[in-house]
Each structure stands twice: as structure tokens, then as C-alpha cells.
Amino acid sequence: MWNDDWDERGAPWEYDPGPPRNRSWARLFAETPNYRALGKAFTGREEFRWHFGPMFYRGRLRDNQVKVLIIGQEGAQDESLSHRSFTGGTGGRMQNLLNHLGIPRSYLFMNTFVYPIFGQYDGDNAVLAQHPESPIRCHREEVFDYVVARNDDLHLVIAVGSAAKESVASWIQSHGGTADPSELHLADASVIAPKLRAVGVLHPGGASKGGAVTAIKKSFVDAIKNVERWSGDDPGWLPVDPDGVRSPAGDYKYTSDPIPFRDFPFGTNWRLGRKATSSNRKDNQKSIQLFAEGGRYGNDGHRLRYLRDLHGSGGSADGSQNSDEGYSAAADDLPYEPPKDRYLDYDKGPDATFARLLQGGRRDLDWPDFTTFGLKANPSLGFGPIYRGRLRRPSILVLADQQSQDDLFTGRALTGNAGQHLQAFLAAAGLTRRYGILRVLPIDTLDDDQGAVQAAVDSEEVRALYRDAVDRANPKVLVVMGSNARRLADHVNPDNRPMVFIRSFLQTGVNANWRQGLTELAALSYPKDIAAPSFDYHGERLQIPRYDLPFGTLRWQGSSGDRAQQPKKGSTLTYDYYKISMPKWASDLGPSPLSVAEQRAADILRADL
């Protein structure tokens, strides 16, 4: 059962459900200032890489779970894909430092900026980060103060790089203490919390500069020595985690450790968090390319050809791909952020039993080795996007063929164009929440050899796992979508629940076929969310509800058709690369207006230059 891709990461059924709904985290994150407009108002140009939105945190958000707060400068493209902080190369370096300190889980990562910046940290963006009137600084310190308020045992802050050092110093100063960013270990952090200490380290991103690795490693060793000294003075100051071991500074090696699965939303592809960067930006910020094991950063040396232009004006296989048909949002929401209005609308993930089952964690019901069937999916991407919706006692459980590669980037099943049309089908059947979706096979088989796909679907291991999943879900009705789902259906429904068969959206004649399916559903009895459903369908498309998607998912994701694609390398498809592109209607948007308070702050910042 154990997979080599899980080594040192725990198991993929351990996951981060997002902010606890009975605390203020989600609200605070939703109150993120208007970064894009603030930057433009202050400098007249785009200061932030806004297209793939903010990333707020990584680690523990429940009460009294955090002993160490790590603050950096900003996230990069891996963080944009995972919607979590410190999940790329720098995150791996810091994970290793935490493991060396014996703190493998009692930590929280945050940043100076929740959006990536263009260029280096200096000049204008430093003013936006540190000016006392800057909404960015004020919001950041409100969040930091909430970390302290919810964690009695927070005793150490680690600042990574110059921006973070200045941010920690500013935070201490705002509480009346003294702090020099270059000597944070001497700062009076106790003004924030009685036993709080601070250290600063050089940013691992500077290692590409000549001779910098030696200096970076020394800064890490110095931080460890400070922790040793403070722990020696007060043995109860920073106890190790129950599964941690603190090693001496002399044994420290400057290396990277993988990010635990428990720090990612359920369904996140396994490639992210592997100790190093796994993606690169493309198309003038409008897309991000993920590379699996066997791929290369920037596809260096690999000539790739993507067949569709998903953010431009031509080359799309479907003209609706660049349309916002079905998209809807509250007036204050930004397409490139999670919801600001309904900020509690996100999916925590499946319960523990389903999480283990769907990730292949049951010894008697684990996934087979799909390569033995001749399937080409890259194993390093894992078994992520296999479900969406509610899996316990849904009115309708949809057993569906894979329809797009969007699921790889959302961590949920059927979130591309076909899934958006299926959303309209479900609404026509009277359901907005009482449904669940199970995708047939947890790996990418969309364009693979169908004989190999059928062999996998026909295997007893696959049948047994889905049989258990359907039995545990216990739906009133099974809707079976696509030929592989139909192939599987008779083997996973021993209780003879009513089944309605509909075509894959990738087939022809879908509208008439789906209307026939709705007619069959109209004759069945099941609990509904809509009192008088239409049971009619004419090609409509609805966005994927936010409560079906993990925390941090952007508003434009799960809308506007298929946003992901797989390239060809030479004349054949490669399973080592995938790219997600934002829709053109969203990338064409200008900044939203500043609030009155934000405009006043921008005026003060300009006047103080």
C-alpha cells in the first residue's frame, strides 16, 4: 500500500481542511486589502502578480497548535497552485529547519505580502509593506495579532529574508517594543507575548548569488544556536513536538525536506510540496505550468505544444471557453481571489473514512498499480481529484468519466467545462447541495488508450473500491455519466439502487440525452433542494459552487469552461506537463476601485515619499 511518493510526508488522507469555521480566520483573510489597486495608486504600475490570487497561510489554524510562526516575503507559483504559503523550494528549506528544531507540525507560515510582487523587495513595495498607514501592513499585523491571541504557546517567530525581518520589526515596534531588523534575536518581542522570541535568517532564494549559500547556512545555524540558548535558560520555553527530535546546531545540514500532506487541501496533486519548485509562470502571468517527475522547470530542453489558446482570442476548441457564462459573484468579490462575501463557502474535504479510501489507504481496498495496465499517467501527480460534493447519503451520486484536466488543479472531480454543465443538470434535477460525484479512476486517462483504461476499470481492485464507496455513500439514485462509468456501474450497485444513464459531455447529442435522463429522474423519489425543479436542460452552464471547492480556490476557477490542458512533446502527448490558464475576461479586468479608507491611505503614502 505504501507509496514512495509519500515518504517523509505522512499519508495523503491527512489534509488541511481550511480555516475552522468557528474562528475569525476566514473573515480576516477575506478582508485582505485591495493589493492591486493600492499598488497602482501608489506607483502607477502593477506591483503585484495578481492573476492567480493570494495565498494566506500554511500550517495549523486551530487553537493552541502553533509554537513557531514563520514569516516570509511572498509566495511564488507553487504557492499559487496550492493556495498555501511556503510550498515551493523555500518552503522545503524551512521545513527542514523546523524538523531540525523538533517542530514538525506545531507551526504556521505566513508572509509580508499575500500576493507575489514583481521584481525585488525595495523602494515602493517596501513602503507598501511597512508604512504605518499602509492597509497592507495594518491588515497583516491584525492577522499576526490573531495568531498570538489563539496560541498561548507561540514562543518563536522566524523571519525569512529582509522583507520579513522588517515586517517582524515593524510588528514589535507597533506594540511599543524595540527591534532592529538585522538583529531580531535582540528584539523585545515580549511586548507582543510574554515568552515570544524572534530570529531572522537569510532568504534561501538568494542562494543563486555567488558565495551566498555559506552565508545562508550560517544564518540558519545562528538561529538554531539562539533557540538552544533560550531553551537552555528555560527548558519549558519551546518543547519539541511529540513526534519531533531537536538536533544540535553542529549537526545542521542546509537541505530541504518535503512538505507534509497534512498542510495541503485534500486532493492536491502530490507533486506540490516535494522539496523543490514544481511549476513556472507562462503567457505573461496568465498561466502556470506544472511539471511532474520527468519534466523540467520552464520545460527546459523540452519543446512543448499546447493545442488551445485558453486566454487569448483564437485556437480554442470551444468558443465558450473564454466566456463568463454561468459566472456569478457578490459585488465585492474579485475573480482572482476567494470569496469575500460568502467566505465560509469552501469544502473542508471528505470525512476520515472516505479520505483514506479515496486515496488508496485501505489495505484491502487500495488502488492498483495503474502502470501495469499500460496507463501513462505520471505517478508523481498522485490520486487527488476523485470526488466532489457530499458523499454521505446524497440524493444523487454521479459516477462519471473524467471530462477534463481541470481537476488536477482544483483537487475536485469534474470542475471543468463538462462539470459546469453537469452543475446545471443537477440544478434542473432539483439539487444544489444534495449530490456527490465520484470520478472513474483517480488519475489522468482523458486521452489515454481506451483499451488500457477499460482494463483498469474492469479490474477487481477498482471494482471493489468503488463498490465500497457507493455502499458507504448510500445514495437514493445513481446517475452514471459516460461509457467507463457505465462499464463500472453494474459491478458497484449490488443493492440495485435506481440508475439513470447519461452521456459524457464529450459525446454528441448530449442535450437531448440529458433531457431524457431528467425525465427519468422526474419519475423517481429523492430529497431535493429546489421545491419545483424544471427537469429540463438546453445546454446551460453554471459555475462550480464554492462550497464544493477547497479553501483558497479563486473565483474564476471552476468557471469559464476548461482552464487546463496537456501538451504534446513532438507528436505525442506528454504526461509530464500540464498548464492552467485564467480566462480572458478575467485577465482583461482592471483593478477594482479603492475604498474611501484605502484611497486616503494611498494619498498619505504618496505624500510621505
**373 vs 4: which has the higher pLDDT:** 373
| Residue 1: predicted pLDDT | 52
pLDDT in tens, 233-250: 999 999 999 999 999 999
User: Residue 159 contacts by C-beta under 8 Å, 6 or more apart in sequence?
Assistant: 71, 165, 167, 168, 181, 184, 198, 199, 200, 201
Q: Is the pLDDT of residue 4 over 80?
A: no
- pLDDT band at residue 3, thresholds of 50, 70 and 90? confident
- pLDDT band at residue 402, thresholds of 50, 70 and 90? very high
Rounded (10°) CA dihedral 164, 168, 173, 177: -140
| Residue 257: predicted pLDDT | 97
The mean pLDDT of 56-78, rounded to a whole number, is 98
Q: Is the pLDDT of residue 588 over 90?
A: yes
CA distances from 199 to 101, 111, 185, 408, 588 (A): 13, 15, 5, 38, 42
The mean pLDDT of 7-36, rounded to a whole number, is 97
Q: Please say whether the beta carbons of 434 and 394 come within 8 A.
A: yes
Sign of the C-alpha dihedral, residues 282, 286, 287, 288? positive
Task: Kindly state the cell numbers that stand for 323.
Answer: 466566456
User: Could you give the CA distance from residue 29 to residue 36 in angstroms, rounded to a whole number?
Assistant: 16
Q: Is the pLDDT of residue 164 over 50?
A: yes
Q: Is 69 exposed, middle or buried (0-12, 13-18, 19+ CB in 10 A)?
A: buried
- pLDDT band at residue 447, thresholds of 50, 70 and 90? very high
Q: Distance of alpha carbon 156 from its chain centroid, rounded? A: 26
- pLDDT band at residue 323, thresholds of 50, 70 and 90? confident
| Residue 318: predicted pLDDT | 45
Percent of the chain scored above 70 by pLDDT?
A: 97
Q: How many CA atoms lie within 13 A of 148 on its CB side?
A: 21
DSSP alpha helices (H): ranges in 405-459?
A: 407-410, 417-428, 450-458
- pLDDT band at residue 608, thresholds of 50, 70 and 90? confident
Q: Go through the domains of the chain in sequence order and give each one's CATH number.
A: 59-111+132-275 (3.40.470), 350-549 (3.40.470.10)
Output phi, psi for 281, to 5 deg.
Answer: -80, 150
pLDDT in tens, 501-513: 999 999 999 999 9
Instruction: Please tell me what DSSP assigns to residue 48.
Output: B
Which of 98-102, 116-120, 418-422 has the lowest average pLDDT?
A: 116-120
pLDDT in tens, 243-293: 999 999 999 999 999 999 999 999 999 999 999 999 999 999 999 999 999
Q: Is the pLDDT of residue 201 over 60?
A: yes
Output phi, psi for 423, to 5 deg.
Answer: -60, -40
| Residue 545: predicted pLDDT | 98
| Residue 175: predicted pLDDT | 98
